[in-house]
């Protein structure tokens, strides 16, 4: 089964991506009560690919990426991450969660733990790393997101931008194969947006596979291999940044872009 | 001074009136207490019966172990919990430290002295000195651990176990040196309270988690338990435990009144605690669980590493409040189960030949009340401090 999936992915993903698809969604439906948030989404992300999802509020962007690590359960269709299909089996779910890192709009750091413990908790508790090793890794990652000096503080003592960078380090600590970002800069003051975007750009440069929901169009243009436009629970249009931003085909895409640009 | 007075106490005629009225009330209350303590109170009844009030019929020859436990526990408590600045607070100057210490311990010292005078514990003065000494030493040990590099390298587990060994062994010694049924007075109140607190805490946590479980049967059982127990008066449960516990136990086992009461206090307080903790769990934002799930943490670890620690910290004052009521409610065990606890003994000694029919009950109750007040006050004050200490960096 995964053979055929991989073959498909080769054709789907363009740009500088490698051959195999690492995230595959086939006909994914999601309902909240009787409201359809996702109406049959087909979508593939290749290894080392950066996909940016844009679209109006309420179009199902969050729901889509939250289905990828099972924070939401899809009702119909298939989701396969790194060859593991998400089913009711909790082992599969936990396996997928180990392979995907998520960064939330509202940071969601653990307020009762120091910055260092926030980053170390994943590898220590899930990957069973020793305390010393996990803290060494945490220090390394905090250096990578440029806040090594904040390790002993508590989250509430940091600025929003710093907190979000800790959240990125926390997700990276699990050595994920895919990173999911749900509007990572939407809760930040304008002057802090760039420090977070810079960290994400560097991840892209290092070849991390990423799905990023964002309203930062400049950022999307710069790092995205493909941009996905969503509206009303559907993927309306997919293309390279220049295709989608400069020559949008669908009238809904055109309307959205004219509103925000 | 004058401007301070004007600004704070007499800004308007209405403020002035309130200030005067409340000062009057405070002065009158203070005078009444003072008159009672120094002039009208007949404290010889406490003096004569002090040992009975504090430890009941606990054998005299084993008393030294009991003293030892109190001293060792004070040392342990000070070394484990005590001291330590609230992180983030700036270095305080000497005078500020002194002021803080007076505010923290002043009232306790006054009351302690009062107790010593009232009870005429002159010959037990050495004990008071030893307790104070143990606390000071404990605080010092704690400071040493912070500042001496060698001590800091000892892992926390070994350190705390080493400190705890003495008091715990001594407690075991105490428990073995005299049948619990012989214990009485304040000792038995304290014992029942401590044992019930230790037991009801895990039970309360489990009930709270059970009530939020995704399994309907677990939820139903926990919710029913909580609602039934909270709906019953404590005194009725205590009376019932004299009979009802036997339905669940084999006939050859009689737990005795002390353990009957511990069971009731544990079960009763656990139900209230469960609701408090559940409230704490509900106040944790959904994002916390989601972030933990996204990391791949299994459900049990999410609860015990992420949500529960935050929930427990958020409801420390309410939990301590519950423990304080439990502590005070142990006085009901005397009337319900004929345990010779403080209140029961207080009442009994007023019927001794020397005191019968002369209204000594006021003095005795005042003394008992004072002891309970000291216990409750220490718990509440220390909990505030712990809360501040843990609250570092909170939102
Ligand atoms: N837990 C939920 N319960 C009910 N409706 C929800 C829930 N989560 C999202 N929705 C609805 O699903 C739609 C898509 O939401 P979302 O994926 O958050 O959109 P976006 O992230 O694109 O703004 C919205 O209309 C929202 O109201
Ligand atoms: Mg969203």
Domain shared by B118 and B215, yes or no: no
For residue B279, being part of any structural domain is answered with: yes
- Ligand 1 binding pocket includes A63 (Cβ within 6 Å): yes
pLDDT at A99 over 50: yes
Supply the pLDDT for residue B116. Answer: 64
B108 and B78 inside one domain: yes
Q: Sort out which chain B residues have CB atoms less than 8 A from A121's CB and list them.
A: 295, 297, 305
CA nearest ligand 1 atom 20, residue:
A58
Atom of ligand 1 nearest to the CA of A213: 21
Summarised one tens digit per residue, pLDDT across range B230-285 is: 999 999 999 998 887 777 777 777 778 888 999 999 999 999 999 999 999 999 99
The pTM of this model reads 0.86
Specify if B201 maps to a domain. Answer: yes
Model confidence over B94-115: pLDDT tens digits? 777 777 777 667 666 766 666 6
- Say if residue B155 is in the same domain as residue B187: no
Q: Is the minimum CB–CB distance between A110 and chain B shorter than 8 Å?
A: yes
Q: At a CB cut-off of 8 Å and minimum separation 6, what does A123 contact?
A: A129, A133, A134, A137, A138, A173, A174, A175
**pLDDT grade for B394, boundaries at 50, 70 and 90:** low
End-to-end, the C-alpha distance of chain B in Å comes to 39
Q: How confident is residue A2, by pLDDT bands cut at 50, 70 and 90? A: very low
Bridge partners of A238, per DSSP, are A228
Question: B290 falls in which pLDDT band (50, 70, 90)?
Answer: very high
Instruction: Give residue A16's pLDDT band: very low, low, confident or very high (50, 70, 90).
Output: very low
- pLDDT, tens digit, 9 for 90 and up, residues A208-247: 999 999 999 999 999 999 999 999 999 999 999 999 999 9
Query: Among B124, B149, B177, which residue terminates a domain?
Result: B177
Q: Are strands A76-81 and A84-85 parallel, antiparallel or unpaired?
A: antiparallel
CA-angle at B171, arms to B169 and B175, nearest 5°: 120
- C-beta separation of B262 from A64 below 8 A: no
B293 vs A71, A157, A167: nearest CB:
A71
Instruction: Please indicate whether, in this complex, the C-beta atoms of B292 and A110 are within 8 angstroms of each other.
Output: yes
Q: What is the mean pLDDT of residues A151-176?
A: 96
A15 in ligand 1 pocket by Cβ < 6 Å? Answer: no
List the CATH number of the domain containing B382.
1.10.3720.10
Neighbour count for residue B165 (Cβ, 10 Å): 12
CA-proximal residue: ligand 1, atom 4 (nearest): A32
Is residue B212 located within the same domain as residue B325?
Answer: yes
- Token pair 């003394």 is at which residue? B367
Last residue of a domain, one of B126, B142, B177: B177
- The whole-chain average pLDDT of chain B stands at 84
pLDDT at B88 over 60: no
Residue B376 counted as domain residue: yes
**Co-location of B146 and B200 in the same domain:** no
- The answer as to whether B30 is a domain residue is no
Does B43 reside within a domain? no
Closest atom, ligand 1, to C-alpha of A72: 1
The C-alpha angle B198, B202, B206, rounded to 5 degrees, equals: 160
Question: Which residues of chain B neighbour A155 with C-beta distances below 8 Å?
Answer: 393
Q: Quick one: which ligand is closest to A59's CA?
A: 1
CA torsion B265-B346-B134-B140 (nearest 10°) is 60
The number of folded domains in chain B is: 2
Last residue of a domain, one of B116, B143, B177: B177
Pair (B76, B204) in one structural domain: no
- B115 plus B195 within the same structural domain: no
Q: Quote the pLDDT of residue B55.
A: 85
Domain range for B85 is 59-177
d(CA A258, CA A254): 6
β-strand pairing of A76-81 with A21-32: antiparallel
Q: Is A178 in the pocket of ligand 1 (CB under 6 A)?
A: no
CA-CA distance, A25 to B217, in Å (whole number)? 36
Asked, for residue B93, whether it belongs to a domain, the answer is yes
Are both B173 and B185 inside the same structural domain?
A: no
Interface of A with B in 132-171 (CB under 8 A): 153-157, 167, 170-171
């Amino acid at each position: 089964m995964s053979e055929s999936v991989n073959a498909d992915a080769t054709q789907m993903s363009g740009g500088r991506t490698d051959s195999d698809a690492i995230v595959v969604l086939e006909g994914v439906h999601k309902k909240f009560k009787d409201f359809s948030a996702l109406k049959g989404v087909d979508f593939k992300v290749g290894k080392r690919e950066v996909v940016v999802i844009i679209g109006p509020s309420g179009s199902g962007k969050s729901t889509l990426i939250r289905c990828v690590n099972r924070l939401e359960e899809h009702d119909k269709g298939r989701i396969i991450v790194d060859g593991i299909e998400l089913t009711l089996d909790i082992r599969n779910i936990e396996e997928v969660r180990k392979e995907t890192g998520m960064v939330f709009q509202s940071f969601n750091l653990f307020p009762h733990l120091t910055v260092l413990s926030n980053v170390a908790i994943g590898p220590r508790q899930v990957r069973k790393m020793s305390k010393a090793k996990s803290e060494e890794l945490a220090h390394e990652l905090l250096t990578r997101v440029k806040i090594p000096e904040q390790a002993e503080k508590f989250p509430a003592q940091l600025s929003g931008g710093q907190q979000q960078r800790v959240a990125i380090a926390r997700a990276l600590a699990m050595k994920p194969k895919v990173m999911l970002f749900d509007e990572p800069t939407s809760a930040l003051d304008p002057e802090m947006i760039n420090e977070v975007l810079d960290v994400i750009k560097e991840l892209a440069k290092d070849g991390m596979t990423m799905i990023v929901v964002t309203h930062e169009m400049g950022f999307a243009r710069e790092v995205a291999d493909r941009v996905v436009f969503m509206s009303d629970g559907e993927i309306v249009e997919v293309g390279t940044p220049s295709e989608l931003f400069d020559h949008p085909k669908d009238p809904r895409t055109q309307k959205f872009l004219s509103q925000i640009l | 001074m004058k401007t301070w007075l004007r600004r704070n106490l007499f800004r308007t005629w209405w403020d002035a009136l309130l200030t005067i009225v409340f000062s009057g009330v405070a002065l009158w209350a203070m005078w009444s207490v003072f008159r009672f303590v120094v002039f009208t109170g007949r404290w010889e009844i406490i003096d004569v019966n002090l040992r009975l009030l504090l430890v009941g019929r606990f054998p005299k020859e084993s008393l030294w172990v009991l003293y030892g436990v109190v001293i060792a526990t004070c040392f342990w408590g000070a070394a484990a919990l005590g001291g330590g600045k609230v992180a983030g607070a700036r270095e305080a100057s000497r005078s500020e430290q002194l002021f803080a210490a007076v505010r923290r311990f002043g009232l306790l010292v006054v009351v302690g002295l009062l107790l010593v005078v009232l009870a005429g514990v002159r010959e037990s003065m050495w004990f008071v000195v030893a307790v104070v000494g143990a606390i000071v030493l404990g605080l010092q040990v704690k400071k040493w651990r912070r500042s001496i590099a060698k001590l800091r390298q000892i892992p926390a587990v070994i350190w705390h176990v080493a400190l705890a060994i003495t008091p715990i062994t001594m407690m075991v010694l105490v428990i073995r040196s005299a049948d619990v049924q012989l214990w009485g007075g304040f000792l038995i109140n304290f014992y029942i309270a401590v044992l019930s607190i230790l037991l009801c805490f895990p039970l309360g946590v489990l009930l709270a988690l059970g009530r939020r479980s995704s399994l309907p049967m677990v939820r139903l059982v926990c919710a029913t338990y909580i609602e039934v127990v909270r709906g019953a008066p404590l005194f009725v449960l205590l009376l019932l435990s004299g009979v009802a516990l036997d339905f669940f136990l084999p006939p050859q086992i009689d737990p005795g009144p002390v353990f009957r009461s511990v069971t009731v206090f544990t079960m009763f307080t656990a139900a209230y605690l469960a609701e408090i903790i559940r409230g704490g769990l509900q106040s944790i934002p959904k994002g916390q669980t989601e972030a933990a799930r996204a990391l791949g943490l299994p459900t049990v670890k999410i609860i015990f590493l992420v949500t529960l620690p935050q929930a427990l910290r958020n409801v420390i004052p309410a939990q301590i409040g519950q423990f304080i009521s439990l502590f005070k409610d142990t006085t009901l065990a005397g009337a319900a189960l004929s345990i010779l606890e403080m209140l029961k003994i207080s009442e009994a000694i007023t019927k001794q030949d020397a005191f019968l029919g002369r209204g000594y009950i006021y003095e005795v109750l005042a003394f008992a009340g004072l002891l309970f007040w000291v216990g409750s006050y220490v718990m509440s004050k220390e909990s505030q401090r712990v809360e501040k200490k843990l609250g570092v960096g909170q939102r």
